[in-house]
Structure 1
Amino acid sequence: AEAQGDAGPVLWRHGAPVDAALAHRPATRALIAAIAGVEEAAFVALAPGAHVPPRRGPTRALLTCHLGLAVPRDGDVRMRVHDRIVRWAEGETLVFDDTCEHEMWNDSGAARIVLAIRFARPLRQPGRWVADRMLRWMRRAGA
Structure 2
Amino acid sequence: MTHGTPASNGTSTTVSRALRLIEDGVLDHANIDALCERLGIGARQLRRLFNKHLGTSPVQVARIRRAHFARRLIESTTLSMAHIAQAAGFGSVRRFNAVINEVYGCPPTALRRSPNRVAGRLELQIPVEGPFPWARMLQFLEP
TM range (shorter): under 0.3
Q: Which has the higher contact order (CA 8 A, sep 6+)?
A: 1
TM-score, L = length of structure 1: 0.26
Higher helix share: 2
Bigger Rg over Cα: 2
Higher strand share: 1
TM-score, L = length of structure 2: 0.26
